[in-house]
Amino acid sequence: MLPPTLQGKDVIELGCGTAYVSAWMARRGARPVGLDNSAEQLATTAQDLIDGGFHRHHWRIVRAQTHRTIHR
């Protein structure tokens, strides 16, 4: 169950994979952090978010094993 509004909320998606939920929450004003183990999946996800019009300051995708932010 999600709150009625996500505007300005910091949220985390564990095991984000394609970050579908993170993108959904970002469209509703949240600042998501997506966490996953797969560097390849996260690189694709980061590109998909950028291609979808999300600016990097609106989200963060992090590789679980290294805690490093994945950039394009």
Predicted TM-score (pTM) of this structure? 0.70
Please give the domain boundaries of the chain with CATH numbers for all domains.
10-69 (3.40.50.150)
**CA dist list (Å): 29 to 11, 22, 26, 40, 71:** 10, 11, 5, 27, 21
What pLDDT is stored for residue 7 in this prediction? 92
CB 70 within 8 A of CB 43: yes
Task: Tell me the average pLDDT across 22-35.
Answer: 85
What pLDDT is stored for residue 72 in this prediction? 41
Instruction: Identify the residue with better confidence: 57 or 20.
Output: 20
**Distance between CA 36 and CA 14 in Å, rounded?**
7
